[in-house]
Amino acid sequence: MPGPRHLLKPRPDPALLSMVVPAYNEEAMIPLLRRQWTDFAQRLPCAVELMIVNDGSTDETLALLLDWAAMDRRVKVLGLARNFGQQAAITAGLDAAAGDAAIILDADLQDPLDVIPEMLAQYRQGYDVVYGQRTARDGESWPKRLTAWAFYRLMRLFLHPNLPPDAADFRLLSRPCLDALRTMRETHRFLRGMVAWAGFAQTAVPYHRRKRAAGETKYPLLKMVRFAWTAALSFSPAPLRLSLTGGLLVALVGLCEGAYAVARALIIRDTTPGWTSMIAITCLIGGAILCSIGVLGEYIGRIFEESKGRPLYLVSTTMNIDPAQPGKSP
């Protein structure tokens, strides 16, 4: 489905560019990130801040970040009280970002810094959202590549037709889009879908995703499946409708089996051989009912968690962050 047409108004580079980086157990990557980012920041045409969110790491990530921030005032550290998950960590960084534009970047440097000047070029043309679109994924197993490919296609087909394919959280957001995103405080977050839902002028920058330089991935296959399930439940009642459709199909099978059993009893007068069919159809119907109740329970559970009104994250440590800056958390 094509998106709405927007009138693009050219603008200058942002006076301040915020780069938001969630980090969880990345002690092997922090020295590499520090070296590459410091060199890259010198070549940017605008002032820059690096907002790194430590998502409750259990290794030396926080200590390395605090040491870095002590040497460079442009580096701002936000330490969460525990591990709240990547989406909450990104939200914390975006809430605190003070720039005219913000870029979400993973700490593993698989999304290369060299793509950012292309994003800024699109920003200057007037786009409010510039997302990185992966053309290749180095260092990933074929099951992970296959499931990632299927995830975006199924989401676009059944749930979210405006979701950009092959685009993760690596993207640039203008201040108007960022402010709109900060008003969405749902607990179960799917940021790339939330950005697509918000609208604004969006465009893609294709890039080649690199292999992780150090450390281990924080998104194994099982975690990706859970993330996909959260995305599906957060943006559409389609799973409920799917359970209804499955229930109707099972009911149709049961109706056919019932008609067959009645016909056999009246014509052949032999009901004992139907015991296997009866057990099979009972199991089918029972399984369909339990699946439907399970899907319904997932939605009810999310409603229950939203009703608590708890904060999305809790901050325990900060460094180089001014509480009065424009990007203060709402």
Structural tokens at position 122: 């699109």
Backbone angles phi, psi at 212, to 5 degrees: -60, 130
Structural tokens at position 41: 């920041």
pLDDT band at 329 (very low <50, low <70, confident <90, very high): very low
User: What value does the mean pLDDT take over residues 20-36?
Assistant: 91
What does the alpha-carbon distance between residue 173 and residue 35 come to, in Å, rounded to a whole number?
25
Per-residue confidence (pLDDT) for residue 234, from 0 to 100? 66
The residue ranking higher by pLDDT, 325 or 25, is 25
SS3 137: strand
Q: Which residues contact 77 (CB under 8 A, 6 or more apart)?
A: 52, 54, 62, 65, 66, 69, 317, 318, 319, 320, 321
User: What value does the mean pLDDT take over residues 233-245?
Assistant: 65
Per-residue confidence (pLDDT) for residue 330, from 0 to 100? 42
How many other CB atoms are found less than 10 A from the CB of residue 304?
9
209: left (phi over 0), alpha (psi -120 to 50) or beta: beta
In order of 13, 263, 270, 279, the CA distances from 267 in angstroms are: 83, 6, 8, 22
**Taking 60 as the threshold, does the pLDDT of residue 324 lie above it?**
no
Q: With contact defined as beta carbons under 8 Å apart, do 43 and 75 qualify?
A: no
SS3 307: helix
pTM, to two decimals: 0.71
Q: Which residues contact 55 (CB under 8 A, 6 or more apart)?
A: 22, 23, 24, 80, 83, 84, 85, 86, 88, 89
Lowest mean pLDDT among 27-36, 78-87, 152-161: 152-161
Q: Which residues contact 297 (CB under 8 A, 6 or more apart)?
A: none
Per-residue confidence (pLDDT) for residue 303, from 0 to 100? 75
What does the alpha-carbon distance between residue 292 and residue 281 come to, in Å, rounded to a whole number?
16
Tokens 């605190």 correspond to 96
Name the amino acid, one letter, at 293.
I
**Taking 50 as the threshold, does the pLDDT of residue 327 lie above it?**
no
